[in-house]
Amino acid sequence: MTKHMRLVVSVLFIVIIVLAVAITRFYSSTGKSTELSGTQPAIEKILDDDKSGNHIFQNDSGMYGIIDSNERVIVYPEWNELKFTESGLCIASKRIRGKMLFGGIDYEGNISLPFVYSDISRINMPYRTLYAAKSAYDQSVVIYDQNFNPCFSRVWDSYKESENELILRSKNGTYSYSVSSGDMILRNAAVKGEAIGHPFTIEVTNKYLLSQLSISSLENMCRAVERYMKYAFTGDSSLLSDINAAPSAVFLTLFPEDHSITEK
């Protein structure tokens, strides 16, 4: 065999070895994955089911998973709690860094809602299902729809359900929404403010006004009232710079000629 032939054979041999190692690693990892997915954990108790025939089950360690209608494990039992929802997602809980946190997973065990909540509660309205998720960080509440999309671009301090009405509270006020199958309509807004040490509330019940005003605009109006009331009694015109008003707007102080009354 010539030197050239020996070199070619040596190169081919090395290539064959490299391919063999790669193929072995591929099938080894695939085998592990298949073995893991094919391993049937012990099913101690079968619990709640959904419309598709999937069941939540509990293993002998007290952890929860999901099996399909053929009793094949589709979600491994690694969750401290599982609840079906109407959207094809599950509310789940798991101990993370010493805290029991709640979030959402799909039927393949993928995280669909971050595990940052201390609780996720179902809100059963007559025409619609909502969910209230309480932050584990500051106990603020996020309101989700039935598909776990946020209903608002803000968080709330608390909520209360009453028939077909959802009452949401924040440090700035209380807002009542009428909940239908396809919409949430603001029916009442009571925005809180404070001027010169005295609290006040601006309540709006007019349907037309509420349909034209957002919560942010209502709160901006309340802050403008706070600024104006302070200006009206003190005459400090710098307070007017934060009021978003038309250039033609005229602001007047109270009792401009009698400073003794203003001071009192």
pLDDT digits (tens, 9 = 90+) for 208-259: 999 998 999 999 999 999 988 888 888 888 888 878 777 777 777 776 665 5
Q: How far is CA 171 from the centre of its chain?
A: 19
Task: Name the amino acid, one letter, at 152.
Answer: F
| Position 22 pLDDT exceeds 90 | no
pLDDT (0 to 100) of residue 216 = 92
Give the helix/strand (H/E) hosting 117: strand 111-124
Task: List C-alpha distances in Å: 65 to 55, 95, 239.
Answer: 8, 15, 59
Q: Half-sphere exposure (CA, 13 Å, Cβ side) for 208? A: 0
Whole-number Å distance between alpha carbons of 175 and 187:
8
Phi then psi for 61, rounded to 5 degrees?
-100, 0
Could you tell me if 187 and 178 are in contact, meaning their C-beta atoms sit under 8 angstroms apart?
Answer: yes
20 band by pLDDT with thresholds 50, 70 and 90: very low
CA dihedral 179, 184, 186, 191 (to 10 degrees): 100
Sheet strand arrangement including 184-195 = 158-162, 165-170, 173-179, 184-195, 198-204
| Position 6 pLDDT exceeds 60 | no
Whole-number Å distance between alpha carbons of 264 and 260:
6
pLDDT (0 to 100) of residue 240 = 81
| Position 18 pLDDT exceeds 80 | no
pLDDT (0 to 100) of residue 212 = 92
> What length does the chain have?
264
DSSP class of 150: B
Q: Is 79 exposed, middle or buried (0-12, 13-18, 19+ CB in 10 A)?
A: buried
Q: Which residue has the tokens 């860094």?
A: 97
- Tell me which long-range contacts 43-52 makes (C-beta under 8 A, separation of at least 24): 43/67, 43/71, 48/83, 48/84, 49/84, 50/84
